């Protein structure tokens, strides 16, 4: 637990470090880009898990992640279209994508039960990181009320995912 928590904290400080490096409050186009990127990252991890996972519960969890994150990202795309906002790439999105690519490669080398455990543990840590970022950075920084609303909905959904992942992680022990 402590190790997992410190990984999450380290990941978060990386995330906030990148965001703070910009020196200014995040703009709505940047927030939209970060939120969408965070979703894509989890979809990619889940698609890898759908192929690689051996445990039934882990496979089902991965399927749930694809279904939910695709639904949320579709809402996000519809919203930015409606608001005529163009999501803007930024250092936080780049840092997230880089970390995710490294993690995907690392998980790609594992097999069987070792893979299942590593994937689910990472899902717990990842959702924790994203939820903290949503709560402390993205939601407070969002100006448009509809964007803020969607982020708040996202937070509730991802808190559910975190609990679900924690439940699956506990069942693997």
Partner 1 sequence: MLPRRYLTTLALFALGAIAVPAHAATIQIVMENLVVSPAEASAKVGDTVEWVNKDILAHTATAKNGDFDVTIAPKQTIKSVLTKAGTVDYYCRFHPNMKAVLKIAP
Residue ranges binding partner 1 (CB under 8 A)? 64, 67-68, 71-72, 75, 153, 156-157, 160, 163-164, 167
Q: Which is nearer to partner 1, 67 or 81 (CB)?
A: 67
Q: Which residue has the tokens 């400080």?
A: 13
Q: How far is the CB of 118 from partner 1 (least distance, A)?
A: 21
Q: How far is the CB of 71 from partner 1 (least distance, A)?
A: 5
Q: How far is the CB of 87 from partner 1 (least distance, A)?
A: 19
Q: Which is nearer to partner 1, 103 or 128 (CB)?
A: 128
Q: Which is nearer to partner 1, 72 or 100 (CB)?
A: 72
Nearest CA among 168, 154, 166, 169 for reference residue 68 = 154
Q: Which is nearer to partner 1, 15 or 72 (CB)?
A: 72
Q: How far is the CB of 79 from partner 1 (least distance, A)?
A: 11
């Amino acid at each position: 637990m402590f190790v997992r928590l410190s990984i999450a904290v380290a990941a978060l400080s990386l995330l906030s470090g990148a965001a703070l490096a910009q020196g200014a409050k995040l703009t709505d186009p940047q927030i939209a880009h970060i939120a969408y990127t965070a979703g894509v990252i989890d979809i990619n991890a889940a698609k890898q898990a759908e192929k690689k996972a051996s445990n039934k519960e882990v496979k089902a969890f991965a399927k749930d992640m694809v279904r939910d994150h695709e639904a949320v990202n579709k809402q996000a795309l519809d919203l930015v279209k409606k608001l005529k906002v163009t999501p803007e790439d930024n250092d936080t999105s780049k840092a997230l994508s880089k970390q995710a690519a490294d993690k995907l490669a690392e998980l790609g080398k594992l097999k069987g039960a070792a893979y299942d455990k590593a994937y689910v543990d990472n899902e717990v840590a990842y959702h924790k990181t994203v939820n903290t970022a949503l709560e402390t950075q993205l939601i407070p920084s969002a100006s448009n009320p509809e964007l803020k609303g969607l982020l708040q909905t996202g937070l509730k959904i991802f808190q559910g995912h975190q609990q679900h992942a924690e439940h699956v992680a506990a069942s693997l022990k």
